[in-house]
Structure 1
């Protein structure tokens, strides 16, 4: 049907003109009331009409009924095997939904069951498809079992969390943040950022958040991204910050750095060649990349055209550590990949002065949560809780940050 439609659009007018010329040639004596009887003129007009009609009809005559299969075979792809951006987004979105369905239901139920009269405590985490959110759900479940009304708030990640922590109108007693963002905040040229950093306190050092750079196979180093298209998910402000920081440290200027797409759409931009790389900062295994297993058996074999980029620690950068992504972390990764990581930290603003009713309430909440976390940390490190809890050490030293004196975790 598509071929017929294309033929009509291009050759239909030519056929009409050809038929008209042919008709004029045949009827020329009658049209001129017998004045024109020159056989050569009539013959020329008729031949012109026949040629025009033949030119219009030739593509239909030579077209093989199986031409679709032939044309796609000519580029080595069987009919129906190509991966369109829309089909890719639909597949990955559905897979991400499956991976995070249980977490979403828990979050909704916990938020709905926290009436104001029991003084609910907000924990600002991140995207529902990210590791922050999954780890926060574990903490919420344990807290609820102990009668602590903690609930998980989905956010855009580290920067959004810090803004909510600083806002008295937000129910955010504590939240997650990346170590590289905190380092940037403390060293910012903006006095307001430095002032905000001075008011931050470390509640609990958490786990390593690996930097995943999913790139086209033609991209072998971070330097290869110069003049190329890089994307991050709109739901992860932290990933955007890390991408900008690492590219700047490597002296790389990409053609574009797009942070407006959903996670599924950004991944599909790379898989279908509309972008060259995507940066995801999240504790492994992140559902965003686990979702790619839904495409492993696709006839177009889109995973053959991408890989995880190996990264080295840039000189002079602060807030990063070396890490590794193993073949067992994602089913489609064949070999271990050296990469970088940021440390996820559980932070709060300093409510210890307790000068206002708001600060007093927040400090009491953090005291309660601190006792709970200290008691339940061994249990959180066991199944079925997220594997990243096994990396958590409350005594881990974190340079540059004062411990929170309300929660009193790790010697605070």
Structure 2
């Protein structure tokens, strides 16, 4: 590994503008959706992911450009990630929307179908609002690492991100698909992206850091040019048999140098996972009316999102494609959005007990389906 005469503080400064700064809001001069004069305002929340990820910027865009016209004061909350979002959407009062990765959603569906009562209680009342965009999956190593391709990470010390994050699910699933075996717990760490990147560059406890975020991801875009001397990306080889197995579940992607001009000199081949906007199957009239208004505002302000919001909005379409087995759209919103696309071209129940952690698999721990000791 690199032996650099730098303190931890200096290294952090070299990698990032700041590790603790919150994601910047869009410019104050941007156009805002205006609430209807007769629409009473309610306070809702959307759960996203880390403060320096793409999800929270998408949530803030919805809060700024869409929610006001629907009479909603929408607060974008940081979270552990997709699996945490499923649980919080299901049980946290005030959380009405969540952003969830497709592989996490499908994992809950699969566990529910296999008879897991906790997974069934979590996922079966949830409904899809809208497919969003593909999120790129980054495999980061030290510049002096012998690894060049993702299919070479077998047996390495890998940071998969916090438990209950979408990153952890994607990293563990890709590893299992590529090598037909789970990640070894002893070689797996669950640090935050920031903590893992620092360990990657200062000690040998981490060989690979997996990050899932739509480009340009703020954490990586904030890297200074000195980061080139410390870390780089692994490439995906589509001809490799393990990669081909992963591509049955995940999409191919290109991580563009234009997204990270301080860090990348050329485009890098990668993998991607789809993000979805999700809600609960609400039947209370006030809530269904508000969410229907939200969908109408989304339709009317979609062009603003694509021009003033995060660049990933340009990859989003309002048409509603068929969903996978066990997935369903939220009917009140679906009706509004299908009209939109055609014109343009109750109280939560207590959570059931989860199985003891000693009986849980790695992926069950990632999904939060285990009771901690």
Q: TM-score range by the shorter chain?
A: 0.7 to 0.9
2:148 is matched with which residue?
Answer: 220
Q: 1:91 to 1:100 in 2, by over 3 A?
A: farther
Query: Where does 1:5-404 land on structure 2 (aligned, <5 Å)?
Result: 82-89=5-12, 91-92=14-15, 94-97=17-20, 100-102=23-25, 118-143=41-66, 145-146=68-69, 147-167=71-91, 169-188=92-111, 189=114, 190-216=116-142, 217-234=145-162, 237-251=165-179, 253=183, 256-259=187-190, 261-274=191-204, 275-293=206-224, 295-296=226-227, 301-303=229-231, 306-310=232-236, 312=238, 313-315=243-245, 319-331=249-261, 332-351=263-282, 354=283, 359-382=284-307, 384-400=308-324, 401-404=327-330
What's the TM-score, normalizing by structure 2?
0.74
Question: Alignment partner of 1:379: what SS?
Answer: helix
Residues 179 and 319, structure 1, Cα contact 8 Å, conserved in 2: no
Residues 205 and 343, structure 1, Cα contact 8 Å, conserved in 2: yes
Question: Alignment partner of 1:285: what SS?
Answer: coil
2: CA distance, partners of 1:411 / 1:403: 11
Q: Deviations over 1:169-209 (max 9, x none)?
A: 42111110001111111112324324533322110111110
Question: Alignment partner of 1:292: what SS?
Answer: coil
Residues 89 and 265, structure 1, Cα contact 8 Å, conserved in 2: no
2: CA distance, partners of 1:98 / 1:273: 25
2: CA distance, partners of 1:99 / 1:171: 23
Deviating more after overlay: 178-187 vs 319-328? 319-328
Residues 235 and 263, structure 1, Cα contact 8 Å, conserved in 2: no
Deviating more after overlay: 231-240 vs 196-205? 231-240
Question: Alignment partner of 1:234: what SS?
Answer: coil
Question: Alignment partner of 1:120: what SS?
Answer: strand
2: CA distance, partners of 1:87 / 1:232: 25
Which protein has the bigger helix share?
A: 1
Give the CA deviation at 1:343.
Answer: 0.8
Q: Deviations over 1:260-284 (max 9, x none)?
A: x332221122223521111111101
Residues 215 and 309, structure 1, Cα contact 8 Å, conserved in 2: no
Q: 1:311 to 1:405 in 2, by over 3 A?
A: farther
Give the CA deviation at 1:315.
Answer: 2.2
Superposed CA RMSD: 2.9
Residues 178 and 246, structure 2, Cα contact 8 Å, conserved in 1: no
Q: Deviations over 1:338-378 (max 9, x none)?
A: 21111110011212xx2xxxx43432221121111111111
How many pairs were matched up? 309
2: CA distance, partners of 1:317 / 1:302: 29
| Structure 2: runs of 5+ lacking an equivalent | 29-39, 340-373
Residues 143 and 149, structure 1, Cα contact 8 Å, conserved in 2: no
| Structure 1: runs of 5+ lacking an equivalent | 1-75, 106-116
Question: Which is higher, the Rg of structure 1 or of structure 2?
Answer: 1
